[in-house]
A = this chain, B = another copy of it.
Amino acid sequence: MSTNFEFQVQARCDRTQARVGIFSTPHGQIETPRFMPVGTLANVKTLTPAQLKVAGAQMILANTYHLHLQPGEQIVAGAGGLHRFMAWPGPILTDSGGFQVFSLSEIRTIDETGVTFRSPHDGTMIHLTPERSIQIQNQLGADVIMAFDECPPYPASREDVLKATDRTYRWLKRCMTAHQRPDQALFGIVQGGVYPDLRAEAAQQLAQLDLPGYAIGGVSVGEPVALIEKIVQVTTPWLPETKPRYLMGVGTPREMAQAIAAGIDLFDCVIPTRLARHGAVLVGGARWNLKNAQFREDFQPLDQACPCYTCQNFSRAYLSHLVRAKELLAYTLLSIHNVTELIGLTQKIRQAILGGYFYEEFVCRDWGKLNPEETLDRAES
Protein backbone atom coordinates (compact mmCIF):
# COMPACT_ATOMS: atom_id res chain seq x y z
CA MET A 1 0.00 0.00 0.00
CA SER A 2 1.30 3.39 -0.95
CA THR A 3 1.92 5.92 1.76
CA ASN A 4 -0.52 8.10 -0.15
CA PHE A 5 -3.29 6.15 1.55
CA GLU A 6 -4.04 5.67 5.18
CA PHE A 7 -7.06 4.41 7.07
CA GLN A 8 -7.38 5.29 10.70
CA VAL A 9 -10.11 3.81 12.87
CA GLN A 10 -10.95 6.55 15.33
CA ALA A 11 -13.73 4.97 17.36
CA ARG A 12 -15.75 1.78 17.62
CA CYS A 13 -19.27 1.00 18.68
CA ASP A 14 -19.32 -1.23 21.76
CA ARG A 15 -22.51 -3.05 20.80
CA THR A 16 -21.91 -3.62 17.08
CA GLN A 17 -19.01 -3.90 14.64
CA ALA A 18 -19.54 -0.29 13.55
CA ARG A 19 -16.54 1.97 13.45
CA VAL A 20 -15.66 5.57 12.66
CA GLY A 21 -12.60 6.24 10.55
CA ILE A 22 -10.69 8.61 8.30
CA PHE A 23 -9.55 7.38 4.92
CA SER A 24 -6.81 9.58 3.47
CA THR A 25 -6.20 9.76 -0.28
CA PRO A 26 -4.06 11.99 -2.50
CA HIS A 27 -7.09 14.21 -3.13
CA GLY A 28 -8.38 14.46 0.42
CA GLN A 29 -9.92 12.61 3.29
CA ILE A 30 -13.13 10.66 3.63
CA GLU A 31 -14.80 10.52 7.01
CA THR A 32 -16.33 7.07 7.36
CA PRO A 33 -18.96 5.75 7.37
CA ARG A 34 -19.81 7.73 4.24
CA PHE A 35 -22.18 7.49 1.31
CA MET A 36 -20.51 8.19 -2.06
CA PRO A 37 -22.60 9.68 -4.90
CA VAL A 38 -22.26 7.98 -8.28
CA GLY A 39 -20.95 9.94 -11.27
CA THR A 40 -21.08 7.18 -13.86
CA LEU A 41 -20.14 9.26 -16.91
CA ALA A 42 -17.87 11.68 -15.03
CA ASN A 43 -20.79 13.61 -13.61
CA VAL A 44 -23.31 12.97 -10.87
CA LYS A 45 -26.47 13.26 -12.89
CA THR A 46 -27.93 16.83 -12.78
CA LEU A 47 -25.51 18.08 -10.10
CA THR A 48 -22.59 20.47 -10.42
CA PRO A 49 -19.45 19.81 -8.35
CA ALA A 50 -20.34 22.91 -6.33
CA GLN A 51 -23.76 21.47 -5.48
CA LEU A 52 -22.21 18.09 -4.62
CA LYS A 53 -19.74 19.67 -2.27
CA VAL A 54 -22.46 21.58 -0.40
CA ALA A 55 -24.42 18.31 -0.18
CA GLY A 56 -21.50 16.86 1.79
CA ALA A 57 -19.92 14.66 -0.88
CA GLN A 58 -16.32 13.68 -0.13
CA MET A 59 -15.47 10.77 -2.46
CA ILE A 60 -17.50 10.27 -5.62
CA LEU A 61 -17.57 7.45 -8.16
CA ALA A 62 -17.05 7.23 -11.87
CA ASN A 63 -17.22 4.20 -14.12
CA THR A 64 -14.56 2.54 -16.24
CA TYR A 65 -17.00 0.75 -18.51
CA HIS A 66 -18.99 3.86 -19.34
CA LEU A 67 -16.01 6.19 -19.66
CA HIS A 68 -14.15 3.73 -21.89
CA LEU A 69 -17.15 3.72 -24.24
CA GLN A 70 -17.50 7.50 -24.08
CA PRO A 71 -15.57 9.76 -24.23
CA GLY A 72 -12.70 7.23 -23.97
CA GLU A 73 -9.92 7.21 -21.39
CA GLN A 74 -7.52 9.03 -23.76
CA ILE A 75 -9.71 12.12 -23.67
CA VAL A 76 -9.99 12.01 -19.90
CA ALA A 77 -6.21 11.57 -19.65
CA GLY A 78 -5.73 14.37 -22.18
CA ALA A 79 -7.74 16.67 -19.92
CA GLY A 80 -5.32 15.89 -17.10
CA GLY A 81 -7.28 13.01 -15.56
CA LEU A 82 -10.74 12.61 -14.10
CA HIS A 83 -10.36 15.20 -11.34
CA ARG A 84 -9.66 17.99 -13.78
CA PHE A 85 -11.97 16.64 -16.49
CA MET A 86 -15.02 16.69 -14.23
CA ALA A 87 -13.78 19.51 -11.97
CA TRP A 88 -14.01 17.43 -8.81
CA PRO A 89 -10.88 18.17 -6.80
CA GLY A 90 -11.74 15.69 -4.04
CA PRO A 91 -11.29 11.91 -3.91
CA ILE A 92 -12.68 9.80 -6.77
CA LEU A 93 -13.17 6.04 -7.06
CA THR A 94 -13.59 4.22 -10.37
CA ASP A 95 -15.46 0.97 -10.60
CA SER A 96 -13.61 -1.54 -12.79
CA GLY A 97 -16.32 -2.22 -15.34
CA GLY A 98 -16.75 -5.78 -14.11
CA PHE A 99 -20.26 -5.29 -12.81
CA GLN A 100 -21.35 -3.24 -15.84
CA VAL A 101 -19.99 -5.70 -18.40
CA PHE A 102 -22.05 -8.42 -16.79
CA SER A 103 -25.18 -6.38 -16.21
CA LEU A 104 -25.37 -4.03 -19.19
CA SER A 105 -23.69 -5.69 -22.15
CA GLU A 106 -24.51 -8.21 -24.73
CA ILE A 107 -21.67 -10.55 -23.76
CA ARG A 108 -20.14 -12.75 -26.40
CA THR A 109 -17.64 -14.74 -24.41
CA ILE A 110 -16.28 -14.98 -20.91
CA ASP A 111 -13.06 -16.92 -20.58
CA GLU A 112 -10.01 -16.88 -18.41
CA THR A 113 -8.53 -13.94 -20.34
CA GLY A 114 -11.50 -11.66 -19.81
CA VAL A 115 -14.85 -10.69 -21.28
CA THR A 116 -15.72 -9.94 -24.89
CA PHE A 117 -18.82 -7.83 -25.44
CA ARG A 118 -20.48 -5.71 -28.04
CA SER A 119 -20.30 -1.96 -27.55
CA PRO A 120 -23.82 -0.63 -27.11
CA HIS A 121 -22.62 2.55 -28.87
CA ASP A 122 -21.26 1.37 -32.17
CA GLY A 123 -21.56 -2.43 -32.12
CA THR A 124 -17.81 -3.04 -32.18
CA MET A 125 -16.47 -5.95 -30.15
CA ILE A 126 -14.56 -4.97 -27.00
CA HIS A 127 -12.31 -7.31 -25.04
CA LEU A 128 -12.01 -6.23 -21.43
CA THR A 129 -9.45 -8.01 -19.27
CA PRO A 130 -8.13 -7.42 -15.77
CA GLU A 131 -5.04 -5.80 -17.28
CA ARG A 132 -7.07 -3.60 -19.63
CA SER A 133 -9.41 -2.45 -16.88
CA ILE A 134 -6.44 -1.44 -14.74
CA GLN A 135 -4.75 0.31 -17.67
CA ILE A 136 -7.92 2.29 -18.29
CA GLN A 137 -8.27 3.10 -14.61
CA ASN A 138 -4.61 4.16 -14.48
CA GLN A 139 -5.37 6.55 -17.33
CA LEU A 140 -8.55 7.86 -15.73
CA GLY A 141 -6.55 8.61 -12.60
CA ALA A 142 -9.02 8.12 -9.72
CA ASP A 143 -7.68 7.83 -6.17
CA VAL A 144 -9.21 4.39 -5.64
CA ILE A 145 -9.50 1.86 -8.45
CA MET A 146 -11.33 -1.44 -8.31
CA ALA A 147 -10.25 -4.92 -9.34
CA PHE A 148 -11.88 -6.37 -12.45
CA ASP A 149 -14.18 -9.11 -11.17
CA GLU A 150 -16.64 -11.64 -12.49
CA CYS A 151 -19.97 -10.75 -10.98
CA PRO A 152 -22.35 -13.73 -11.08
CA PRO A 153 -26.05 -13.03 -11.54
CA TYR A 154 -28.80 -13.89 -9.09
CA PRO A 155 -29.93 -16.58 -8.95
CA ALA A 156 -26.84 -18.65 -9.81
CA SER A 157 -25.90 -22.17 -8.78
CA ARG A 158 -23.30 -22.70 -6.10
CA GLU A 159 -21.04 -24.22 -8.72
CA ASP A 160 -21.27 -21.19 -11.01
CA VAL A 161 -20.72 -18.78 -8.12
CA LEU A 162 -17.71 -20.79 -6.94
CA LYS A 163 -16.20 -20.62 -10.44
CA ALA A 164 -16.78 -16.86 -10.63
CA THR A 165 -15.36 -16.32 -7.14
CA ASP A 166 -12.20 -18.29 -7.92
CA ARG A 167 -11.78 -16.48 -11.22
CA THR A 168 -12.29 -13.13 -9.48
CA TYR A 169 -9.39 -14.06 -7.20
CA ARG A 170 -7.11 -15.00 -10.11
CA TRP A 171 -8.13 -11.78 -11.93
CA LEU A 172 -7.40 -9.74 -8.81
CA LYS A 173 -3.82 -11.01 -8.78
CA ARG A 174 -3.47 -10.05 -12.44
CA CYS A 175 -4.89 -6.61 -11.59
CA MET A 176 -2.28 -6.21 -8.84
CA THR A 177 0.49 -7.07 -11.30
CA ALA A 178 -0.87 -4.72 -13.96
CA HIS A 179 -1.40 -1.77 -11.62
CA GLN A 180 1.20 0.93 -12.21
CA ARG A 181 0.40 4.01 -10.16
CA PRO A 182 1.33 4.31 -6.48
CA ASP A 183 -0.98 7.32 -6.22
CA GLN A 184 -3.95 5.01 -6.81
CA ALA A 185 -5.15 2.42 -4.29
CA LEU A 186 -6.39 -0.88 -5.76
CA PHE A 187 -9.26 -2.40 -3.80
CA GLY A 188 -10.13 -6.11 -4.07
CA ILE A 189 -13.72 -7.28 -4.43
CA VAL A 190 -15.21 -10.20 -2.49
CA GLN A 191 -17.67 -12.23 -4.54
CA GLY A 192 -19.47 -15.41 -3.40
CA GLY A 193 -23.10 -14.73 -4.19
CA VAL A 194 -25.55 -15.63 -1.46
CA TYR A 195 -23.42 -18.55 -0.21
CA PRO A 196 -21.98 -17.72 3.23
CA ASP A 197 -19.11 -20.20 3.04
CA LEU A 198 -18.02 -18.92 -0.39
CA ARG A 199 -18.13 -15.33 0.86
CA ALA A 200 -16.10 -16.21 3.95
CA GLU A 201 -13.53 -18.13 1.96
CA ALA A 202 -13.15 -15.39 -0.64
CA ALA A 203 -12.77 -12.76 2.07
CA GLN A 204 -10.04 -14.80 3.79
CA GLN A 205 -8.15 -15.27 0.52
CA LEU A 206 -8.29 -11.56 -0.27
CA ALA A 207 -7.31 -10.56 3.25
CA GLN A 208 -4.00 -12.38 2.75
CA LEU A 209 -3.12 -9.99 -0.08
CA ASP A 210 -2.83 -6.95 2.20
CA LEU A 211 -4.70 -4.63 -0.16
CA PRO A 212 -5.36 -0.97 0.74
CA GLY A 213 -9.10 -1.64 0.86
CA TYR A 214 -11.77 -4.26 0.35
CA ALA A 215 -15.16 -4.23 -1.29
CA ILE A 216 -18.11 -6.57 -1.12
CA GLY A 217 -19.43 -6.96 -4.65
CA GLY A 218 -22.18 -8.95 -6.26
CA VAL A 219 -24.96 -7.53 -4.09
CA SER A 220 -27.96 -5.57 -5.37
CA VAL A 221 -27.99 -7.85 -8.39
CA GLY A 222 -31.56 -8.99 -7.99
CA GLU A 223 -31.40 -10.97 -4.74
CA PRO A 224 -34.04 -10.27 -2.07
CA VAL A 225 -32.89 -7.23 -0.16
CA ALA A 226 -33.12 -9.13 3.12
CA LEU A 227 -30.11 -11.21 2.02
CA ILE A 228 -27.80 -8.18 1.84
CA GLU A 229 -27.44 -7.92 5.61
CA LYS A 230 -26.57 -11.62 5.85
CA ILE A 231 -23.96 -11.44 3.09
CA VAL A 232 -22.32 -8.51 4.84
CA GLN A 233 -22.44 -10.20 8.23
CA VAL A 234 -20.70 -13.38 7.03
CA THR A 235 -18.07 -11.49 5.03
CA THR A 236 -16.82 -8.56 7.13
CA PRO A 237 -15.43 -10.66 10.01
CA TRP A 238 -12.82 -12.02 7.60
CA LEU A 239 -11.70 -8.64 6.27
CA PRO A 240 -8.78 -6.81 7.93
CA GLU A 241 -9.83 -4.45 10.72
CA THR A 242 -7.31 -1.88 9.56
CA LYS A 243 -8.54 -1.40 6.00
CA PRO A 244 -11.59 0.43 4.64
CA ARG A 245 -14.55 -1.77 3.68
CA TYR A 246 -16.86 -0.78 0.88
CA LEU A 247 -20.26 -2.31 0.16
CA MET A 248 -20.79 -1.78 -3.54
CA GLY A 249 -24.10 -0.60 -4.99
CA VAL A 250 -25.94 -0.27 -1.69
CA GLY A 251 -27.26 3.05 -0.46
CA THR A 252 -30.73 2.57 0.99
CA PRO A 253 -31.03 3.82 4.56
CA ARG A 254 -31.93 0.53 6.29
CA GLU A 255 -29.30 -1.48 4.46
CA MET A 256 -26.60 1.12 5.13
CA ALA A 257 -27.43 1.16 8.86
CA GLN A 258 -27.32 -2.64 9.00
CA ALA A 259 -24.08 -2.83 7.04
CA ILE A 260 -22.42 -0.18 9.19
CA ALA A 261 -23.39 -2.26 12.23
CA ALA A 262 -21.55 -5.16 10.56
CA GLY A 263 -18.42 -3.07 9.99
CA ILE A 264 -18.82 -1.42 6.54
CA ASP A 265 -17.33 2.03 5.96
CA LEU A 266 -18.21 3.11 2.41
CA PHE A 267 -21.31 2.92 0.23
CA ASP A 268 -22.37 3.97 -3.23
CA CYS A 269 -25.69 3.85 -4.99
CA VAL A 270 -27.43 5.57 -7.89
CA ILE A 271 -30.65 5.70 -5.91
CA PRO A 272 -30.64 9.42 -4.97
CA THR A 273 -30.30 10.65 -8.55
CA ARG A 274 -32.42 7.90 -10.06
CA LEU A 275 -35.29 8.49 -7.66
CA ALA A 276 -35.02 12.20 -8.41
CA ARG A 277 -35.44 11.57 -12.12
CA HIS A 278 -38.61 9.65 -11.28
CA GLY A 279 -39.95 12.54 -9.20
CA ALA A 280 -39.33 10.80 -5.88
CA VAL A 281 -37.60 11.89 -2.71
CA LEU A 282 -36.21 10.23 0.39
CA VAL A 283 -37.42 11.85 3.58
CA GLY A 284 -36.53 10.30 6.91
CA GLY A 285 -36.23 6.83 5.41
CA ALA A 286 -39.55 7.06 3.51
CA ARG A 287 -39.97 7.54 -0.23
CA TRP A 288 -42.45 10.06 -1.52
CA ASN A 289 -43.61 10.47 -5.07
CA LEU A 290 -44.07 14.18 -5.66
CA LYS A 291 -46.68 13.55 -8.32
CA ASN A 292 -49.07 12.47 -5.59
CA ALA A 293 -52.03 14.87 -5.27
CA GLN A 294 -51.31 15.51 -1.60
CA PHE A 295 -48.26 17.59 -2.47
CA ARG A 296 -49.94 19.99 -4.91
CA GLU A 297 -50.85 22.53 -2.25
CA ASP A 298 -48.39 21.56 0.46
CA PHE A 299 -46.30 24.64 1.08
CA GLN A 300 -43.91 23.06 3.59
CA PRO A 301 -40.35 22.15 2.64
CA LEU A 302 -39.68 18.48 1.98
CA ASP A 303 -38.05 18.22 5.39
CA GLN A 304 -38.07 21.13 7.83
CA ALA A 305 -34.86 19.86 9.43
CA CYS A 306 -32.90 19.29 6.21
CA PRO A 307 -30.11 21.80 5.56
CA CYS A 308 -30.08 21.30 1.76
CA TYR A 309 -30.60 24.12 -0.75
CA THR A 310 -33.87 22.54 -1.89
CA CYS A 311 -35.40 22.33 1.57
CA GLN A 312 -34.13 25.79 2.51
CA ASN A 313 -35.76 27.43 -0.52
CA PHE A 314 -38.63 25.46 -2.03
CA SER A 315 -41.95 23.96 -1.01
CA ARG A 316 -43.33 20.53 -1.78
CA ALA A 317 -45.95 22.33 -3.90
CA TYR A 318 -43.26 23.97 -6.04
CA LEU A 319 -41.29 20.75 -6.45
CA SER A 320 -44.49 18.88 -7.27
CA HIS A 321 -45.25 21.53 -9.92
CA LEU A 322 -41.80 21.16 -11.51
CA VAL A 323 -42.08 17.36 -11.52
CA ARG A 324 -45.54 17.45 -13.10
CA ALA A 325 -44.33 19.94 -15.71
CA LYS A 326 -41.29 17.69 -16.38
CA GLU A 327 -39.01 20.67 -15.84
CA LEU A 328 -35.38 19.56 -15.71
CA LEU A 329 -34.77 21.76 -12.69
CA ALA A 330 -36.95 19.33 -10.74
CA TYR A 331 -34.36 16.58 -11.18
CA THR A 332 -31.58 18.87 -9.97
CA LEU A 333 -33.48 20.04 -6.90
CA LEU A 334 -34.64 16.53 -5.95
CA SER A 335 -31.13 15.14 -6.50
CA ILE A 336 -29.69 17.82 -4.23
CA HIS A 337 -32.07 16.74 -1.50
CA ASN A 338 -31.67 12.99 -1.98
CA VAL A 339 -27.87 13.12 -2.07
CA THR A 340 -27.84 15.37 1.00
CA GLU A 341 -30.23 12.96 2.73
CA LEU A 342 -28.10 9.86 2.17
CA ILE A 343 -24.77 11.50 2.92
CA GLY A 344 -26.42 13.13 5.91
CA LEU A 345 -27.62 9.77 7.17
CA THR A 346 -24.07 8.41 7.14
CA GLN A 347 -22.86 11.61 8.84
CA LYS A 348 -25.51 11.18 11.54
CA ILE A 349 -24.55 7.55 12.00
CA ARG A 350 -20.93 8.63 12.33
CA GLN A 351 -21.91 11.04 15.09
CA ALA A 352 -24.04 8.36 16.71
CA ILE A 353 -21.11 5.92 16.84
CA LEU A 354 -18.90 8.63 18.30
CA GLY A 355 -21.63 9.58 20.76
CA GLY A 356 -22.33 5.98 21.81
CA TYR A 357 -25.96 5.93 20.66
CA PHE A 358 -25.67 4.21 17.29
CA TYR A 359 -27.18 0.91 18.42
CA GLU A 360 -30.18 2.50 20.11
CA GLU A 361 -30.91 5.01 17.40
CA PHE A 362 -30.07 3.21 14.16
CA VAL A 363 -29.97 -0.53 14.76
CA CYS A 364 -33.05 -0.67 16.98
CA ARG A 365 -34.94 1.79 14.76
CA ASP A 366 -38.12 0.58 13.12
CA TRP A 367 -37.12 0.88 9.45
CA GLY A 368 -40.58 -0.16 8.30
CA LYS A 369 -41.78 -3.50 7.08
CA LEU A 370 -39.43 -5.25 4.69
CA ASN A 371 -41.13 -6.67 1.64
CA PRO A 372 -39.50 -10.10 1.22
CA GLU A 373 -39.84 -9.78 -2.55
CA GLU A 374 -38.09 -6.42 -2.63
CA THR A 375 -34.83 -6.15 -4.54
CA LEU A 376 -32.41 -3.33 -5.19
CA ASP A 377 -31.14 -2.50 -8.63
CA ARG A 378 -27.75 -0.87 -8.97
CA ALA A 379 -27.87 0.18 -12.60
CA GLU A 380 -28.56 3.83 -13.30
CA SER A 381 -31.50 4.31 -15.60
Inter-chain contacts of A80 with B (CB < 8 A): 299
Q: Are A45 and B75 in contact (CB under 8 A)?
A: no
Q: Are B296 and A75 in contact (CB under 8 A)?
A: yes
Inter-chain contacts of A317 with B (CB < 8 A): 71, 75, 78-79, 85
Q: Are A297 and B46 in contact (CB under 8 A)?
A: no
Inter-chain contacts of A324 with B (CB < 8 A): 70-71
Inter-chain contacts of A296 with B (CB < 8 A): 71, 75
Question: Roughly how many angstroms separate A274 CA and B137 CA in the complex, as a whole number?
Answer: 36
Q: Are A78 and B299 in contact (CB under 8 A)?
A: yes
User: Most chain-B Cβ atoms within 10 A of its Cβ — which of A45, A47, A296, A321?
Assistant: A321
Q: Are A49 and B313 in contact (CB under 8 A)?
A: yes
Would you list which residues of chain A between 317 and 366 have a CB under 8 Å from chain B? 317-318, 320-322, 324-325, 327-329, 331-333
Across the two chains, which residue of chain B brings its CB closest to A315?
B79
For residue A115, CB closer than 8 A to chain B, the reply is: no
Question: Roughly how many angstroms separate A87 CA and B45 CA in the complex, as a whole number?
Answer: 23
* Residue in contact with A315 in the complex, picked from B43, B47, B85, CB distance below 8 Å: B85
Q: Scan A290-324; emit 1 where CB is below 8 A from any B CB, else 0.
A: 00000011010000000001000111011011101
In the complex this chain forms, how many copies of it are found? 2
* Residue in contact with A327 in the complex, picked from B43, B327, B329, CB distance below 8 Å: B43
Question: Roughly how many angstroms separate A199 CA and B175 CA in the complex, as a whole number?
Answer: 75
Inter-chain contacts of A70 with B (CB < 8 A): 321, 324-325
Across the two chains, which residue of chain B brings its CB closest to A66?
B325
Q: Are B79 and A332 in contact (CB under 8 A)?
A: no
Q: Closest approach, in angstroms, between the C-beta of A73 and any C-beta of chain B? A: 12
Across the two chains, which residue of chain B brings its CB closest to A71?
B321
Question: Roughly how many angstroms separate A299 CA and B74 CA in the complex, as a whole number?
Answer: 12
Can you spell out 28 A-B residue pairs with CB atoms less than 8 angstroms apart? A41-B322, A41-B327, A42-B321, A43-B327, A44-B329, A45-B327, A45-B329, A47-B329, A48-B329, A48-B332, A48-B333, A49-B313, A70-B324, A70-B325, A71-B296, A71-B317, A71-B320, A71-B324, A75-B317, A75-B321, A78-B299, A79-B318, A80-B299, A86-B318, A87-B314, A328-B328, A328-B331, A328-B332
